[in-house]
């Protein structure tokens, strides 16, 4: 009997290698879990009927282009769109023998923090189906937490991997910008988008990151990546952990989240880490507003290609302009429309310097502030999300409250830095996430620290109601 | 205000399609005359997730062109997105360059009969061409009245360089001369065919006029759709005349765009847009800055051919301005250099007989051509013309043609001339009474009777002698 709620991907690989289970048995186990629970959780937008390989299954967020498998990015405008080519990450997964189970739910074009912006209905949190799984990669996070997939890939622009991982009690890595190819990933904000793993353990995370990372000739913004080391150490001796004052004191952090975070920091000290306070005042104050200039600006341009001319939805109109306008009006939901308008405004003549230009300058300041912190510390630690998973519908009428979910994840995204979520406890019976931030290309340091803490914390990642 | 002396002010915007094997940002072959949409991929069709990768050859070509135009090469150039909706623009933006183009300020020297005209180059930047809208139904492929429009993406993404000049040209002649030498430079750099009929070279002109002595610029008009150098010159002349008329009539020239209609020679104003374009330029986040290595720039500089302007000035002392410019602008000066013989005679044959025969100068063996030109008065004219026409053939030798020397035998020609003079007594009398232009008539008669094989110098001499006897 395969317990998909507990089985890690690393264990699944072992079972296959030792021929203790067959690839078919593994596939069937996850399909059975999907049949059992996806009706409630709605993690998947599409499923693959027959496994295309003999390896460990994987779920892919629906912004990841997959040849021959519908890829909608959670939008009506791409309903029925079947890519002609594999994204580089999908290809690398295939080459590593991973077998795609299906495509997971996402806020439309990855714009959101709860999956409630998906054109195909929200996903639900396996810990409490009345609550959101976070977003935009809520489908991937809920699928892994709910035992519907051993691991999954997500994409992160301002927190879309880390925040849902936190809300679902699993591990999620947003890698250093430029380490994972964006080729074939439906673009939201090109200077921020990064694909990364959503997994049950830090070691699974390192394994999957190793599979997808590396320079890609099809993506000019990728770089050479240091060799990925699977974490082994169980202590934190010699590791300097900085706690950004402005991040733990930020408004809106729930007390239960703060408590779980502080207990984890205490544990880190016990494991031998040197913990100190550091400062990121400008990053925390300006990170979020700058993000909401840069990301919509790039999105307004990235989403211009959905015009009904070549693929996807086309509204039946005779004249070109009428057709484009109606297609986009009918095809895009409210959130993409809101961001297209914000972004178009921010890039307009006369406003560019004040908005987009200024935001890019602030980005440089945020980078510098982080670099200064890393002169004294190896990793920085903070809560990932200010709150635990919230109820569906709680924030849908208040975009600013929804945007505030990403307050703590956004600054490091703006600086292009890697961030890892490790579940660190419960508050009100719901998971709390620890965010570990490293310097550029320091994924190995994050894995090492995350692994040691994960071992010491002994967090039971199976949702209580499913145990 | 009539009688004022007006000075035209002209600046040009030139688009040059580069002759790279593949497109600017994807691996599709550049072959846009092929079956529509047969050279497309996710990148040039702007499928979700597709990313551009800059074509290194196109960057190298642009650096070469920039150096030939005397431009500063940017150590770190940026690509920008130019955002607008149009069916031939699949991404909804064109990847172009904005505030940091690959080639910055430069100058291109155009020799004029009276001194040089130094034309400032504002910039030369690299971008991608749009696809092609094919209007189906209606008349003449125009959008008006068309039933529907197909888009052929084969051309979409072809590397394109845009060169912008300062408003330094002062007449349509100067503009034409500048374009001829620029085209020559581009062709010799091997970076483009630069053919206007094929659209691989496209020119827009910005035209204004001002009173002589005035230092500022007045409102300009933009001329588009002129598909030959002659049309450009005619379009500019027509616009200069129109603007002078407006000013002298007490009116004011307004900023406007005109299409030149080659059939009527008229300028048609484009419908004014309701609002100004706002392309929302921002740096292309999918590409890294272009940083041409010092090594690349130095190699390109070292390989730069001697520029046409310099060559005109070098040839001018022995040939005069017109012949020198003609040889260079037509790309015949290299053949001229490798063809021995009397300099003027060689230049004249190259510009007349060789040009008339449409021979590719680069295919001609200079030594063989030299032999031919040296003997041009001794071989019969039709033979000479035939030999010139074949001078570009592979393995061409002048010898078989030289063997057919013209008849200069007085013993043979004398009686024939006597016969012709006797048969045309009236013309002889007219010649003798002063109509010396009739000499050509008699020469023609002799040539006709000898199938063109008579040596014209000998015929001339004999005729003169006999007619004045
Ligand atoms: Zn292509």
Whether residue B377 sits in one domain with residue B416 = no
Contact B447, B454 (CB under 8 A): yes
Between CA B451 and CA B453 the distance in angstroms is: 5
Query: CA of A186: which chain B residue's CA is closest?
Result: B49
- For B293-341, the pLDDT digits (tens) are 999 999 999 999 999 999 999 999 999 999 999 999 999 999 999 999 9
Q: Is A353 inside any structural domain?
A: no
Q: Report residue B146 as tokens.
A: 């068309």
Considering only CB atoms, which chain B residues are within 8 Å of A416? none
Residues B172, B292 within the same domain: yes
Q: What residues 52-71 of chain A have any CB closer than 8 A to a CB of chain B?
A: 63, 65, 71
Instruction: Let me know the angle formed at the C-alpha of B11 by B10 and B16, rounded to the nearest 5 degrees.
Output: 135
Instruction: Answer with the one of B300, B319, B343 that is the final residue of a domain.
Output: B300
Report whether pLDDT(B117) > 70.
yes
Could you tell me if B15 and B130 lie in one domain?
A: yes
Cis amide prior to B335 (ω within 30 degrees): no
Q: List the structure tokens of A337.
A: 């429309």
Burial of B138 (0-12, 13-18, 19+ CB in 10 A): middle
Same domain, B363 and B222: no
Residue B285 Cα, gap to closest chain A Cα (Å): 5
* Chain A neighbors of B151, CB-CB under 8 A: 309
Q: Give yes or no: residues B357 and B441 share one domain.
A: no
CB neighbours of B344 closer than 8 A, spacing ≥ 6?
A: B318, B319, B323
Whether A22 is catalytic:
no
pLDDT band at B262 (very low <50, low <70, confident <90, very high): confident
Q: Is pLDDT of A43 > 60?
A: yes
Same domain for B10 and B139, yes or no, is: yes
The DSSP output letter for A354 is I
Q: At what angle do helices B56-68 and B172-189 cross, to 10 degrees?
A: 130
Q: Using the mean position of ligand 1's atoms as its centre, give its distance from the Cα of residue B419 in Å.
A: 75
Per residue in A74-104, pLDDT (tens digit) is: 999 999 999 999 999 999 999 999 999 999 9
Average pLDDT over residues A217-245: 98
Residue B27 alpha carbon to ligand 1 centre in Å: 6
B45, B156: one domain: yes
Which domain range does residue A59 map to? 9-279+366-466
Q: Is residue B370 part of a domain?
A: yes
Encode pLDDT of A389-399 as tens digits.
999 999 999 88
Q: Report d(CA B350, CA B356) in Å as an integer.
A: 9
With b for 16 or more beta-carbon neighbours within 10 A and e for fewer, the A247-266 pattern comes to: bbebeebbebbbebbeebbe
Tell me which residue in A182, A220, A311 faces B47 most closely, judged by beta carbons.
Answer: A311
* d(CA B254, nearest CA chain A) in Å: 23
Confidence of residue B403 (pLDDT cuts 50, 70, 90): confident
Pairwise CA distance, residues B430 & A114, whole Å: 107
Q: Tokens for A133, please give them.
A: 């799984």
- Cross-chain CB nearest to A305 (options B91, B149, B278): B91
Q: Does B51 touch chain A (CB under 8 A)?
A: yes
Q: Is residue B275 very low, low, confident or very high in pLDDT (cuts 50, 70, 90)?
A: low
CB contact under 8 A, B83 and A304: yes
Mean pLDDT of the region B88-108 = 97
The DSSP symbol for A186 reads P
**Local confidence band at B2 (pLDDT 50, 70, 90 cut-offs):** very low
Q: How close does chain A come to B272, measured CA to CA in Å?
A: 18
- In this prediction, residue B261 carries a pLDDT of 86
For residue A191, tell me if it sits in a domain: yes
CA of A86 from ligand 1 middle (Å) equals 15
DSSP string for A64-77 = B-BTTB---TT-GG
- Cα–Cα distances (Å) from B96 to A233, A421, B51, B80, B283, in that order, read 50, 39, 15, 5, 9
Residues B188 and B225 in one domain: yes
**What is the percent of chain B where pLDDT is above 90?**
72
Q: Residue B236 — very low, low, confident or very high, per pLDDT cuts 50/70/90?
A: very high
Q: How far is the CA of B42 from the centre of ligand 1 (A)?
A: 6
Tell whether B56 is within 8 A of chain A (Cβ): no
Q: Do B137 and B145 contact (CB within 8 A), yes or no?
A: yes
Grade residue B406 by pLDDT with cuts at 50, 70 and 90: low
B337-360 per-position pLDDT tens digit: 999 999 999 999 999 999 999 899
* pLDDT score at A136: 97
What pLDDT sits at residue B274?
A: 60
DSSP secondary structure letter of residue A353? I
pTM of the predicted structure, to 2 decimals: 0.90
* Same domain membership, residue B185 and residue B106: yes
Q: Which candidate from A84, A190, A321 shows the least CB-CB separation from B47?
A: A84
At CA B335, angle to CA B331 and CA B339, rounded to 5?
A: 155
For chain A positions 358-417, those within 8 Å of chain B (CB to CB) are: none
CATH code of the domain containing B442: 1.10.10.410
B430 and B286 share one domain: no
pLDDT attached to residue B141: 59
Catalytic residue among A75, A123, A136, A283, which?
Answer: A136
Same domain, B10 and B106: yes
Query: What residues in A contact B91, CB-CB < 8 Å?
Result: 304-305
> By CA distance, what is B90's nearest residue in A?
A305
Write the CB contacts of A259 (distance below 8 Å, at least 6 apart in sequence). Answer: A425, A427
Distance from CA of A212 to the nearest CA of B (A): 16
B49 with A305: Cβ contact below 8 A: no
Burial class (CB in 10 A: 0-12, 13-18, 19+), A456: middle
Query: What DSSP assignment string belongs to A364-428?
Result: HHHHHHHHHHHHH-SEEEEESSSSSPPBTTSSTT-HHHHHGGGTTTHHHHHTT--EEEEEEEEET
ipTM of this predicted complex? 0.96
CATH of the domain at A170: 3.90.1300.10
Query: Is a pLDDT exceeding 80 seen at residue B138?
Result: no
Q: What pLDDT does A34 receive?
A: 98
Q: What is the pLDDT of residue B139?
A: 64
| Confidence bin at B4 (pLDDT 50/70/90) | low
B310: in domain = no
Per-residue pLDDT averaged across B269-275, rounded?
74
Spatial distance between the Cα atoms of B374 and B372, rounded to a whole number of angstroms = 5
How many separate domains does chain B show? 3
pLDDT at B254 over 90: yes
Query: Do B456 and B364 belong together in one domain?
Result: no
Chain A nearest C-alpha distance from B164 (Å): 22
Domain C-terminal end among B367, B402, B437: B402
Asked about A160 being catalytic, the answer comes back as yes
Q: Is B144 on the interface with A (CB under 8 A)?
A: no
pLDDT of residue B1: 43
Q: Which two tokens stand for residue B55?
A: 């074509």
The answer to whether the CB atoms of B280 and A347 lie below 8 A apart is yes
> Lowest-pLDDT range, A4-18, B158-172, B407-421?
B407-421
Contact residues on chain B for A352, CB-CB shorter than 8 A: 280-282
Active site (annotated) includes residue A136:
yes
A347 vs chain B: nearest CA distance in angstroms?
Answer: 5
Q: Mean pLDDT over all residues of chain B?
A: 91
Phi, psi of B398 (to 5 degrees): -80, -25
Q: Which two tokens stand for residue A41?
A: 């959780």
Give the residue from chain A lying closest to B149, CA to CA.
Answer: A320
Other Cβ atoms closer than 10 A to B400: 11
pLDDT of A293 > 90? The answer is: yes
- Residues ≥6 apart with Cβ < 8 Å to B438: B427, B430, B431
Place of tokens 């095809």: A331
> Which residues span the domain enclosing B380?
332-402
- Asked whether residue B315 is assigned to any structural domain, the reply reads no
A321: in domain:
no
3-state secondary structure chain B: CCCCCEEEEEEEEEEEECCCCECCCCCCECCCCCCCCCCCCCCCCCCCCCCCCCCHHHHHHHHHHHHHCCCCECCCECCEEEECCCCCCCCCEEEECCCCCCECCEEEEEEECCEEEEEEEEEEEEEECCCEEEEECCCCCCCCCCCEEEEECCCCCCEEEEEEECCCECCHHHHHHHHHHHHHHHHHHCCCCCCCCCCCEEEEEEEEEEECCCCCCCCCEEEEEECCHHHHHHHHHHHHHHHHHHHHCCCCCCCEEEEEECCCCEEEECCCCCCCCCCCCEECCCCCCECCCHHHHHHHHHHCCCCHHHHHHHHHHHHCHHHHHHHHHCCCHHHHHCCCCCHHHHHHHHHHHHHHHCCCHHHCCHHHHHHHHHCCCCCCHHHHHHHHHHCCCCCCCCHHHHCCCCECCHHHHHHHHHHHHHHCHHHHHHHHCCCHHHHHHHHHHHHHHCCCCECHHHHHHHHHHHHCC
Q: Residue B255 in contact with residue B220, Cβ under 8 Å?
A: yes
Ligand 1 centroid to Cα of residue B29, in Å, is 8
Give a yes or no: residue B317 inside a domain: no
Contact criterion met (CB < 8 Å) for B48 and A187 = yes
Length of chain A: 467
| Average pLDDT score over residue span A62-72 | 98
Burial A314-339 (b: 16+ CB within 10 A, else e): beeeeebeebbbbbbeebbbebbeeb
The mean of the pLDDT values for chain A is 97
Q: Which residues crowd ion ligand 1, with CB under 5 Å? A: B 26, 28, 41, 43-44
Number of domains in chain A: 1
Res. B276: pLDDT tops 80: no
Distance between alpha carbon B392 and the CA centroid of its chain, in Å? 22
**Alpha carbon distance B175, B226 (integer Å):** 13
- The burial class, CB within 10 Å (0-12 / 13-18 / 19+), for B69 is buried
């Amino acid at each position: 009997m395969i317990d998909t709620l507990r089985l890690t991907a690393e264990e699944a690989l072992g079972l296959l290698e030792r021929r203790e289970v067959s690839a078919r048995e593994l596939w069937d186990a996850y399909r059975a879990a999907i049949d059992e629970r996806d009706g409630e959780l709605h993690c998947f937008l599409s499923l693959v009927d027959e496994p295309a390989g003999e390896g460990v299954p994987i779920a892919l967020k629906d912004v990841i282009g997959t040849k021959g498998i519908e890829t909608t990015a959670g939008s009506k405008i791409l309903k029925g769109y079947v890519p002609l080519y594999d994204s580089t990450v999908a290809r690398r997964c295939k080459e590593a023998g991973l077998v795609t189970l299906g495509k997971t739910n996402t806020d439309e074009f990855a714009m959101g923090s709860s999956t409630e912006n998906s054109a195909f209905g929200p996903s639900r949190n396996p810990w409490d189906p009345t609550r959101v799984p976070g977003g935009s990669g809520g489908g991937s996070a809920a699928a892994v937490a709910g035992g519907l997939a051993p691991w999954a890939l997500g994409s992160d622009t301002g927190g879309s991997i880390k925040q849902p991982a936190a809300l679902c009690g699993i591990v999620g890595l947003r890698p250093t910008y430029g380490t994972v190819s964006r080729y074939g990933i439906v673009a939201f904000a090109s200077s921020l988008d990064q694909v990364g793993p959503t997994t049950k353990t830090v070691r699974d995370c390192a394994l999957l990151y190793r599979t997808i990372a590396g320079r890609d000739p099809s993506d000019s913004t990728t770089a050479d990546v240091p060799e990925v080391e699977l974490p082994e150490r169980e202590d934190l001796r010699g590791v300097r952990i900085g706690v950004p004052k402005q991040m733990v004191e930020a408004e809106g952090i729930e007390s239960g989240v703060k408590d779980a975070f502080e207990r984890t920091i205490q544990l880190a000290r016990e494991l031998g880490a040197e913990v100190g306070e550091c400062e990121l005042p400008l990053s925390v104050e300006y990170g979020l507003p700058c993000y909401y200039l840069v990301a919509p600006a790039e999105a307004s341009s990235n989403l211009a290609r959905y015009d009904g001319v070549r693929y996807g939805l086309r509204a039946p109109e005779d004249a070109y302009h009428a057709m484009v306008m109606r297609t986009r009006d009918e095809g895009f939901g409210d959130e993409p429309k809101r961001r297209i308008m914000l972004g178009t405004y921010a890039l307009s003549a006369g406003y560019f310097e004040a908005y987009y230009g200024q935001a890019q300058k602030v980005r440089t300041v945020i980078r510098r502030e982080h670099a200064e912190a890393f002169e004294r510390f190896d990793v920085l630690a903070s809560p990932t999300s200010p709150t635990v998973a919230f109820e569906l519908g709680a924030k849908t009428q208040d975009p600013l409250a929804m945007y505030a979910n990403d307050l703590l994840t956004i600054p490091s995204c703006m600086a292009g830095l890697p961030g890892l979520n490790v579940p660190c406890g419960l508050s009100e019976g719901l998971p709390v996430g620890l965010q570990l931030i490293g310097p550029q290309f320091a994924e190995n340091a994050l894995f090492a620290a995350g692994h040691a803490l994960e071992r010491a914390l002994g967090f039971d990642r199976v949702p209580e109601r499913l145990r | 205000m009539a009688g004022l002396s007006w000075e035209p002010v002209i600046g040009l915007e030139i688009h040059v399609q580069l002759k790279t094997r593949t497109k600017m940002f994807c691996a599709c072959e550049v072959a846009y005359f092929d079956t529509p949409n047969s050279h497309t991929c996710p990148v040039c069709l702007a499928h979700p997730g597709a990313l551009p990768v800059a074509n290194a050859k196109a960057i190298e070509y642009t650096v070469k062109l920039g150096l030939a135009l005397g431009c500063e090469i940017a150590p770190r150039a940026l690509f920008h997105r130019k955002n607008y909706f149009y069916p031939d623009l699949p991404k909804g933006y064109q990847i172009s360059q904005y505030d940091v183009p690959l080639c910055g300020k430069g100058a291109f020297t155009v020799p004029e009969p009276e001194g040089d005209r130094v034309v400032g180059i504002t910039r030369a930047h690299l971008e991608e061409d749009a696809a092609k809208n094919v209007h189906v139904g209606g008349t003449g492929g125009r959008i008006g009245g068309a039933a529907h429009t197909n888009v052929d993406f084969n051309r979409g993404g072809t590397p394109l360089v845009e060169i912008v000049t300062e408003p330094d040209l002062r007449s349509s002649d100067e503009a034409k001369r500048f374009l001829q030498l620029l085209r020559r430079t581009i062709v010799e750099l091997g970076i483009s065919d630069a053919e206007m009929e094929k659209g691989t070279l496209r020119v827009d002109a910005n035209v204004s006029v001002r009173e002589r002595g005035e230092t500022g610029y007045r409102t300009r008009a933009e001329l588009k759709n002129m598909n030959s150098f002659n049309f450009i010159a005619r379009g500019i002349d027509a616009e200069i005349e129109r603007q002078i008329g407006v000013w002298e009539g007490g009116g004011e020239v307004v900023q406007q765009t005109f299409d030149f209609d080659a059939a009527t020679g008229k300028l048609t104003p484009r419908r004014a847009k309701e609002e100004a374009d706002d392309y929302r330029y921002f740096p292309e986040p999918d590409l890294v800055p272009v940083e041409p290595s010092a090594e690349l720039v130095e190699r390109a500089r070292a390989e730069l051919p001697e520029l046409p302007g310099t060559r005109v000035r070098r040839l001018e002392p022995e040939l005069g301005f017109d012949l020198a410019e003609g040889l260079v602008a037509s790309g015949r000066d290299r053949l001229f250099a490798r063809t021995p013989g009397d300099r003027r005679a060689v230049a004249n044959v190259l510009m007349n007989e060789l040009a008339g025969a449409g021979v590719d100068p680069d295919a001609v063996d200079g030594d063989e051509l030299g032999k031919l030109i040296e003997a041009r008065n001794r071989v019969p004219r039709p033979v000479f013309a035939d030999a010139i026409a074949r001078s570009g053939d592979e393995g061409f030798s002048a010898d078989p043609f030289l063997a057919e020397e013209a008849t200069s035998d007085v013993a043979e020609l004398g009686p024939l001339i006597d016969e012709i003079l006797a048969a045309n007594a009236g013309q002889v009398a007219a010649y003798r009474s002063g109509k010396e232009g009739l000499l050509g008539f008699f020469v023609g008669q002799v040539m006709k009777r000898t199938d063109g094989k008579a040596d014209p110098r000998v015929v001339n001499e004999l005729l003169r002698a006999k007619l004045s006897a």
